[in-house]
Amino acid sequence: MNKVKIGLIGLGTVGSGVVKVLKDYPEVEIKKIAVKNINKKRNIENLDTSILTTDPFEIVNDKDIDIVVEVIGGTTPAFELLKTAINNGKHIVTANKELLAKNGQELFNLANEKNTAILYEAAIAGGIPIIMPIKTTLAGNKINKIEAILNGTTNYILTKMEEDGVSYEEVLKEAQALGYAETDPTGDVEGYDSAYKIATLATIALNRRVDINKIYREGITQISANDMKFAKELGYKIKLIAQALLKENNKVDVRVHPMLVPLKDCLASINGVTNSVVLEGFPVGRVMMAGPGAGEFPTASSVVGDILAIVRSLGAKDILPLMKCHHEINAEQIDIKETENKYYISITAMNTPGVIGCIGEICGKHHISLASVLQKGIEEGNTAQIVIITEKSIEANVLDAIDELKNNKNIVKINNLIRVME
């Protein structure tokens, strides 16, 4: 049996997992692995160091390699490497969410032209199978809504804040010590990672090309222990949600930001580093998939699954046609100010008669109805914590009301504004 030759670019956590898992598949041979440092010690038993190279272009230009597996992340040099590989007729497996979000359209168009496959299951939700099900089992559905937790680091931080009643800063240090958060956690905690993932996921599920630059993104750094406590009292949990909606006018609303999730909603039960994707459409209704969204073996599971899908399709005239990208429509994306949501607004106000009425009057002036009001005890400086949940309102109106509240003599501070999942 002729073995299918693999070139692996990257031998970090995910790359190491891929090497370990592929040992159980004799039909595949890793011919070459590109690394930054050949002399670095690897936690891989019996690794053949003779196949290591520091030049990844050796892999994409090697005529004997059939499939290039890229797990280095980022756009440079990954974009040029994969473009070169596709031009050389090689199939691609990648876990690179940023590359797909920023350069996916060009790569997919080139792959269609060259009749090569690009598979990327690991780029969206780690070990959770989501792209292949959408392209195959769920292909008969019109998906119109995605709600997802796509980042394990932020979900871990928010879970610990809720369970232990501690600050964001305190939990972040713990997450970094445990290896759940990077030394520079910006990509996770500011929502970039989730935005890259929902850009590609929404493109596939909603059948429209989503522009990463038009996705509203907001991270979790402003979430406080008080927000977690108040949310719980009101019957919610706070989660970083990646959301995509196909509206009745065929416009698309794609965004990433914290949300108050009702305790009865399935996403409220997703804790720790677990990820979850909920799809809604016709005729299937509502489908939820959950599991490990990162890590050596969960991500390697998706990468190796993609490799084997290509291996078992080699020789076909049109390789994996169901998995190819044929999105011709660019999504008309809605600005966040045009969206309608329910809102949680946390306010520090002076403890003076009529202050709640004043807040209600300002909200009413901007066409915002209040669903509930929670006032806590008197604090230092004769102030009180007031938390309101609004009815569904237009974001632009809510922001105008916030601006007016900030300038009101009875309002000391607007502590936070968080959207509420229905």
Among residues 32, 90, 160, 197, which one is catalytic?
197
Residue 359 lies in a domain: yes
Q: How many residues does the chain have?
A: 422
Residue 253 confidence class, pLDDT cut points 50, 70, 90:
very high
Same domain, 267 and 317: no
Q: CATH no. for residue 270? A: 3.30.360.10
Same domain, 153 and 286: yes
Share of the chain above pLDDT 90, in %: 94
Place of tokens 């690897």: 42
In this predicted structure, the answer to whether residue 57 has a pLDDT above a threshold of 80 is yes
Catalytic status, residue 342:
no
Same domain, 285 and 373: no
Residue 328 lies in a domain: no
pLDDT recorded at residue 289: 97
pLDDT, tens digit, 9 for 90 and up, residues 302-312: 999 999 999 99
Same domain, 250 and 159: yes
Residue 407 lies in a domain: yes
Residue 14 confidence class, pLDDT cut points 50, 70, 90:
very high
> The domain containing residue 146 runs over which residues?
131-292
pLDDT, tens digit, 9 for 90 and up, residues 113-136: 999 999 999 999 999 999 999 999
pLDDT, tens digit, 9 for 90 and up, residues 315-350: 888 889 889 887 779 999 999 999 999 999 999 999
Residue 154 lies in a domain: yes
Same domain, 254 and 159: yes
Residue 332 lies in a domain: no
Q: What is the mean pLDDT of residues 289-313?
A: 96
**The two three-digit tokens of residue 367, written as one number:** 């066409």
The CA distances from residue 296 to 11, 32, 140, 288, 299, in Å, are 11, 20, 33, 23, 6
Same domain, 368 and 356: yes
Same domain, 351 and 304: no
Average pLDDT for the chain: 96
Same domain, 163 and 285: yes
Q: CATH no. for residue 29? A: 3.40.50.720
**The two three-digit tokens of residue 322, written as one number:** 């169901």
Residue 179 confidence class, pLDDT cut points 50, 70, 90:
confident
**The two three-digit tokens of residue 274, written as one number:** 């677990």
Same domain, 358 and 313: no
The 3-state secondary structure of 259-316 reads EEEECCCHHHHCCCCEEEEEEEEECCEEEEEEEECCCHHHHHHHHHHHHHHHHCCCCC
What is the total count of domains within the chain? 3
Residue 330 lies in a domain: no
Q: What is the mean pLDDT of residues 82-103?
A: 98
pLDDT recorded at residue 322: 86
CA 124 from chain centre, in angstroms, equals: 7
**166-175 burial by CB neighbour count: b if 16+ within 10 A, else e?**
eebeebbeeb
Same domain, 241 and 311: no
Same domain, 305 and 360: no
Residue 347 lies in a domain: yes
Q: CATH no. for residue 407? A: 3.30.70.260
Residue 352 lies in a domain: yes
In this predicted structure, the answer to whether residue 1 has a pLDDT above a threshold of 70 is no
pLDDT, tens digit, 9 for 90 and up, residues 20-37: 999 999 999 999 999 999
pLDDT recorded at residue 326: 78
Place of tokens 């969960």: 298
d(CA 15, CA 34): 10
Q: What is the mean pLDDT of residues 245-272?
A: 97
Same domain, 135 and 122: no
